[in-house]
Amino acid sequence: MPCGYFSETTKKVLFMIMKILGELALVGAIASVFIVAAQGRAAERAAEEAAGRDYMRTLDEVKSKSKNRLVLASWDYESNITAYNEEKLLQLSLEIAEEEKESWKETMSYLWHEFEDQDLKRMFQKYSQLGTSALPEDLNQRLIQAVNNMQATYAKATICDYKDRTKCDLHVEPDVTDIFAKSEDPEELKHAWLEWHKAAGAASKGNFTEYVLMENEAAKLNGYDTVAEWWLSEYEMTNEDQFATLWNQVKPLYEQIHAYVRGRLRAKYGEDVVSKKGPIPAHLLGNIWAQTWNNIEKFTRPYPEKPDVDVTAALIAQNYTPLKMFQAADEFFKSLNLSGVPDLFWDRSIIEKPNDGRDLVCHASAWDFFDGEDFRIKQCTTLTSAFFKTTHHEMGHIQYYLQYKDLPVIYRAGANPGFHEAVGDVIALSVATPKHLRVVGLLEDGPDDLESNINQQFKMGLEKIVFLPFAYLLDLFRYSVFRGITAPRDYNCHFWQLRESLQGVEPPAPRTENDFDPAAKYHVSANVEYMRYYVSYIIQFQFHRALCQLAGEYTPNDPSQLLSNCDIYRSQAAGKALGNMLQMGSSKPWPEAMEVLTGQRNMDASGVLEYFAPLHEWLKMENERTGEFIGWEPSTVQYCTQEQRMAMEDLGFKEKLRKYGGM
């Protein structure tokens, strides 16, 4: 019908309809173009993701080989410290650093942020962190040399015997450690403390300052302001507030132990040596670093008439050897239906100090050679109750390696740095119980009465609870250095301010800026982040609580099934749950690994408090009965100048200390 027959209104309506249809056709056409383009881009992304997956498989093989070469060279150096092995390690480190820079460039050429495969994306994200290899070769060489120098100083440091000043070949392990374990002479202990800190600490101050400069440069090249933020990123944190929260949970228990021990030390040595309200002199606590106090348990035990749970004599009487101790630890894991160590472990580990006169790092350590077959421990074992536990701890690291050995190399690590340490310690918690020691024949049958349980908890508290402030402050100190708050002239002053404020200890003699006491601790000299140990001493009790419930060994609020008496030995249910978590390595964020075992997604000190609840109640009553002062007043030992103290006020240093749980 001709359009002239339509009314004007109808014509307008038809015109509008035709216009809309035309526009819709245009939109459809444009949309089709975009759809085609999007499909093309999706295809490109899929192709790139497939290429990325192939690249990651190839990179994994390359990294496995390079890590194997580097760990082999590190092992050679640490087990035989010579100029040749040091140079070999240095040159290989530089060579691999250059290789890593090249692979990093290729890694970053992929648009991995757009990948849909979250696992592949996680691998690329981890490889996007170049580490210290990001440094130019000359700066990387300076960093490696500074750390090697500190390690060598620590490993070669010796002191003279207090009673025979011509005998000057005493190393930290086992000689100095043995002095602090056995001597009750304050003057001998003071001599050993001062000489060790002079030999291993002061000499490394220059190298530490150099190391801080180079390490901070590497942090910046990896996208962090300082090494402090870099280290914190391993816990998926941006600051240390959560660590402070954990410390504030356990601080009341620590203060009760501190007050009780100070009272016992004062009774033993007199008020002229140990004050009634001040910090405790660090050389009197049975350990060169005062990080654990279990060696003074013999004269601070709540109920001294009760027998001590120490199996040193039994180990000797039953003809144990270092090898037999390691075999016992291996059997513990196999009883959980977990993996035994491979034959290569027995062939290549160093489990006793060689008697050929070589210098080596005796500090116990477990090694993964990243080939899925070679795992070793280096430990200068002696037949003591402490080493029986340490051996199980180190074998815990090996078990972790065995469980995640089939993962890509980038995932062969603990879920966060504290997990690895916690796994070893959670086994040691079972091993240390009288129940387990009786099962393996190292302890005679005896009653598990309240007094014996308090003694056992106290002994464990001298190891586990008193360690927490030391572990916490060691990295708070380094964070402050890395952030430029603590300058080289203030190293020792700020270090002791932290030790007094958080730990309640003081040096046995005045200290100056020429001293550098932090480097007398292996982990500072070896560039090992230490907050992992603090975290591990918290989360191991979360792990322990979960495993004990699975093993039917712990029921909350049941005095017949205390958490401190739990032994998971031979529990396959506990072993399965532990293995499930270990097999994840670092393939998932740590809260997911935590949840697999504990049902929780956060770090929490409630497990610590449950474990030590009977001891905490006993200490509160005992300290009130004896009138002990809880906490500590300022030290009278000089370790900061007046100028340094005024500068700390200007920096707000004491306010920061209070924020992080200090006195």
Q: Does residue 85 or residue 656 have the better pLDDT?
A: 85
Digit-coded pLDDT (tens) for 414-442:
999 999 999 999 999 999 999 999 999 99
Residue 658 has pLDDT above 60, yes or no: yes
Residue 567 has pLDDT above 50, yes or no: yes
Catalytic residue, from 191, 258, 436, 523: name it: 523
Predicted TM-score (pTM) of this structure: 0.87
Given a contact cutoff of 8 angstroms between Cβ atoms, the answer to whether 603 and 535 are in contact is yes
Given a contact cutoff of 8 angstroms between Cβ atoms, the answer to whether 186 and 227 are in contact is no
When pLDDT is averaged across residues 181-191 and rounded to a whole number, the result is: 97
Digit-coded pLDDT (tens) for 26-45:
545 454 544 554 556 678 88
Strand partners, 24: none
Residue 663 has pLDDT above 80, yes or no: no
Q: Compute the distance between CA of residue 636 and CA of residue 510 in angstroms, rounded to an integer.
A: 9
Residue 451 has pLDDT above 90, yes or no: yes
Residue 247 has pLDDT above 60, yes or no: yes
Domain ranges, ordered by start, for the chain: 3-103, 312-435+543-600
The DSSP string of 436-494 is HHHHTTSS------HHHHHHHHHHHHHHHTTHHHHHHHHHHHHHHHHTTSS-GGGHHHH
Residue 648: predicted pLDDT:
83
- Going from the C-alpha of 69 to that of each of 96, 100, 136, 151, 494, the distances in angstroms are 9, 14, 21, 20, 39
CB atoms < 10 A from the CB of 321, how many? 13
| 235 belongs to an annotated ligand binding site | yes
Which amino acid type is present at position 221? Answer: L
Q: Compute the distance between CA of residue 396 and CA of residue 420 in angstroms, rounded to an integer.
A: 8
Catalytic residue, from 297, 394, 553, 628: name it: 394
Share of the chain above pLDDT 90, in %: 86
Given a contact cutoff of 8 angstroms between Cβ atoms, the answer to whether 471 and 346 are in contact is no
- Closest listed residue to residue 507, CA positions, set 154, 161, 160, 190: 190
523 is catalytic: yes
When pLDDT is averaged across residues 296-316 and rounded to a whole number, the result is: 94
When pLDDT is averaged across residues 148-154 and rounded to a whole number, the result is: 95
Which amino acid type is present at position 335? Answer: S
Given a contact cutoff of 8 angstroms between Cβ atoms, the answer to whether 351 and 327 are in contact is no
β-strand pairing of 280-281 with 505-506 = parallel
Residue 31: predicted pLDDT:
47
Residue 524 has pLDDT above 60, yes or no: yes
Given a contact cutoff of 8 angstroms between Cβ atoms, the answer to whether 202 and 514 are in contact is yes
Residue 17 has pLDDT above 70, yes or no: no
Confidence band (pLDDT; 50, 70, 90) for 655? confident
| 191 belongs to an annotated ligand binding site | no
Residue 13 has pLDDT above 70, yes or no: no
Given a contact cutoff of 8 angstroms between Cβ atoms, the answer to whether 611 and 563 are in contact is yes
For residue 498, give both structure tokens. Answer: 């932290």
The DSSP string of 309-374 is ---HHHHHHTT--HHHHHHHHHHHHHHTT-PPPPHHHHHH-B-S--SS------S-EEEE-SSSS-
Helix (H, G, I), strand (E, B) or coil at 156: helix
Residue 236: predicted pLDDT:
87
Confidence band (pLDDT; 50, 70, 90) for 647? confident
Residue 23: predicted pLDDT:
55
Digit-coded pLDDT (tens) for 490-505:
999 999 999 999 999 9
Cα 602–Cα 603–Cα 604 angle in degrees, nearest 5: 110
Q: Compute the distance between CA of residue 479 and CA of residue 486 in angstroms, rounded to an integer.
A: 9
For residue 574, give both structure tokens. Answer: 């506990």
Lowest average pLDDT, out of 105-114, 187-196, 641-650, goes to 641-650
Residue 200: predicted pLDDT:
95
Residue 660 has pLDDT above 80, yes or no: no
- Closest listed residue to residue 582, CA positions, set 366, 343, 367, 339: 339
| 8 belongs to an annotated ligand binding site | no
Residue 44: predicted pLDDT:
85
Q: Compute the distance between CA of residue 35 and CA of residue 424 in angstroms, rounded to an integer.
A: 55
616 is catalytic: no
| Mean confidence (pLDDT) of the chain | 92
276: CB partners within 8 A, 6+ apart: 262, 266, 629
Q: Compute the distance between CA of residue 544 and CA of residue 423 in angstroms, rounded to an integer.
A: 9
CB neighbour burial string for 183-217, b if at least 16 within 10 angstroms, e if fewer: beebebbbbbbbbbbbbbbbbbbebbebbbebbbb
Helix (H, G, I), strand (E, B) or coil at 76: helix
- Closest listed residue to residue 620, CA positions, set 247, 246, 297, 257: 257
Q: Compute the distance between CA of residue 554 and CA of residue 496 in angstroms, rounded to an integer.
A: 40
Digit-coded pLDDT (tens) for 336-377:
999 999 999 999 999 999 999 999 988 899 999 999 999 999
What dihedral angle (degrees, nearest 10) is formed by the CA atoms of 546, 547, 553, 557? Answer: -10
Residue 15: predicted pLDDT:
54
| 393 belongs to an annotated ligand binding site | yes
- Closest listed residue to residue 156, CA positions, set 143, 140, 144, 169: 169
Q: What is the H or E stretch that residue 395 is in?
A: helix 385-403
Residue 32: predicted pLDDT:
54
Residue 24: predicted pLDDT:
52
Residue 78 has pLDDT above 90, yes or no: yes
